[in-house]
């Protein structure tokens, strides 16, 4: 197999970071050769740290291959150095993936190298988690669960004014305030919340990815979805619960019971050798047994009717959303993959419900990594 090339900024490219496990704010290039050896091309300022990596065979800087640098800047010089290194080796073609920035592809082609594009380069290696990655994700989900509980108990325990608006600290409790406090809670535990969180209620809850805005009110369901990154490992948590301050409606209770059962059905369908498509079908089958259906996009004719409007879940790791999807077209599932399972029902009339857990696929079945109360009344 020809040399494989990964490039970019590790802090921004999960595929590159997963390969090199070396965090820098600047770009680097990593080469895996046919004979099993590798090389890391970094700025001279990073060479000391990089040479401490036991799994890297050789560390170089761009000046070793382009001593005059590049008039087009640091990144262009790095790309030109990468091309020079490969041509000096006598490489004729290289393998690249979708995460390679075009700048590098341009200079590799300009040097006469043939680029062999591999769409899923590195995907399976990221999908199947090591024992260490599983523990990192387990910890990320533990802290995420604590943040979810913090937010849900705050909402459930808030008082309400005469108009039914929830109050906290002498002021209205809004989606924006809760999200801000979630971020503070996570920051204190060395977690980043750069994607923000979802704290959404009527009328915006029918939009499954609306972050929420405005006052939270008594008797209205609130979906709390938190998906932060552990700064120590860069692995992510992802958990959702639904909370009601006050009296939940009969229809909401039916919706909640259906979603809870559908999550259980989705988890039970997760097994080695099955597919994401089959897991999603199992989830929808449970919802249908409870009288609900799946409708998406243009198929949503009446948004007041509670319906499932997204897939059952997704892979998770260094990014919140990773392959594969537990949805239509989802492929084969393997042992040691980790997914979210997150069925939901959404209505502009009755509100929304989503319950989400992180689930590890094992040789014997599955393990939920986020055991946490699934009810709607967080005052208990």
DSSP symbols for 326-353: ESTT--B--TT-EEEE--EEEETTTEEE
Number of C-beta neighbours around residue 41 at 10 A: 25
Number of C-beta neighbours around residue 37 at 10 A: 12
Average pLDDT, the chain: 95
Structure tokens at 53: 């990596």
Structure tokens at 356: 């989400």
pLDDT at res. 235: 98
Name the residue among 250, 222, 178, 173 with its Cα closest to residue 352.
222
Structure tokens at 45: 């300022």
Cα end-to-end span (Å), the chain: 59
Rounded to whole angstroms, how far apart are CA atoms 33 and 39? 8
Structure tokens at 241: 């619960």
HSE of 346, CA atoms in CB hemisphere, 13 A: 26
SS3 of residue 365 by DSSP: strand
Sheet holding 58-60, edge to edge: 58-60, 38-41, 28-32, 3-8, 93-96, 114-117
Tell me the pLDDT tens digit for each residue of 324-337: 999 999 999 999 99
Question: H or E stretch including 318?
Answer: none
pLDDT at res. 197: 97
Q: Specify whether the backbone of 130 is left (phi greater than 0), alpha (psi in -120 to 50) or beta.
A: beta
Contact 242, 208 (CB under 8 A): no
Which stretches of the chain score pLDDT less than 50?
none
Rounded to whole angstroms, how far apart are CA atoms 374 and 286? 17
Tell me the pLDDT tens digit for each residue of 132-169: 999 999 999 999 999 999 999 999 999 999 999 999 99
Contact 312, 266 (CB under 8 A): yes
Rounded to whole angstroms, how far apart are CA atoms 288 and 295? 12
pLDDT at res. 70: 64
Q: Is the N-terminal amide bond of 153 cis, ω within 30° of 0? A: no
pLDDT at res. 296: 87
Alpha carbon 74 to its chain centroid, in Å, reads: 31
DSSP label at residue 298: G
Contact 53, 5 (CB under 8 A): no
Please state the pTM of the whole predicted model: 0.94
Domains by residue range for the chain, with CATH:
3-121 (3.40.350.10), 128-368 (3.90.230.10)
């Amino acid at each position: 197999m020809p040399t494989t090339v990964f490039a970019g900024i590790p802090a921004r490219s999960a595929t590159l970071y997963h390969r090199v496990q070396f965090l820098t704010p600047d770009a680097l290039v990593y080469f895996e050769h046919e004979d099993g050896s590798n090389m890391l091309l970094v700025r001279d300022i990073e060479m000391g740290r990089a040479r401490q990596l036991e799994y890297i065979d050789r560390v170089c800087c761009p000046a070793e291959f382009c001593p005059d640098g590049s008039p087009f800047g640091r990144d262009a010089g790095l790309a030109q150095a990468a091309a020079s290194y490969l041509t000096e080796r006598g490489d004729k073609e290289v393998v690249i993936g979708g995460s390679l920035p075009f700048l590098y592809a341009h200079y590799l082609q300009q040097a006469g190298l043939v680029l062999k594009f591999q769409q899923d380069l590195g995907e399976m290696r990221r999908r199947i988690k090591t024992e260490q990655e599983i523990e990192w994700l387990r910890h990320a989900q533990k802290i995420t669960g604590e943040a979810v509980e913090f937010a849900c108990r705050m909402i459930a325990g808030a008082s309400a004014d005469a108009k039914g608006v929830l109050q906290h600290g002498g002021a209205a409790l809004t989606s924006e305030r809760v999200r801000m406090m979630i971020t503070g809670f996570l920051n204190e535990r060395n977690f980043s919340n750069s994607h923000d969180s979802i704290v959404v209620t009527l009328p915006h809850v029918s939009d499954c990815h609306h972050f929420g805005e405005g006052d939270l009110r008594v008797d209205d369901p609130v979906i709390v979805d938190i998906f932060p990154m552990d700064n120590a490992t860069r692995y992510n948590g992802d958990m959702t619960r639904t909370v009601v301050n006050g009296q939940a409606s009969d229809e909401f209770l039916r919706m909640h019971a259906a979603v809870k059962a559908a999550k259980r059905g989705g988890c039970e369908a997760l097994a080695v050798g099955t597919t994401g498509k089959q897991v999603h079908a199992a989830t929808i089958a449970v919802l249908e047994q409870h009288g609900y259906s799946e409708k998406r996009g243009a198929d949503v004719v009446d948004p007041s009717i509670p319906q499932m409007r997204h897939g059952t879940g997704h892979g998770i790791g260094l990014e919140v959303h990773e392959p594969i999807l537990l949805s239509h077209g989802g492929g084969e599932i393997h042992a040691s993959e980790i997914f979210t399972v997150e069925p939901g029902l959404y209505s502009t009339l009755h509100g929304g419900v989503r319950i989400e857990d992180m689930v590890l696929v094992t040789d014997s079945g599955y393990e939920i990594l986020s055991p946490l109360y699934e009810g709607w009344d967080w005052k208990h």
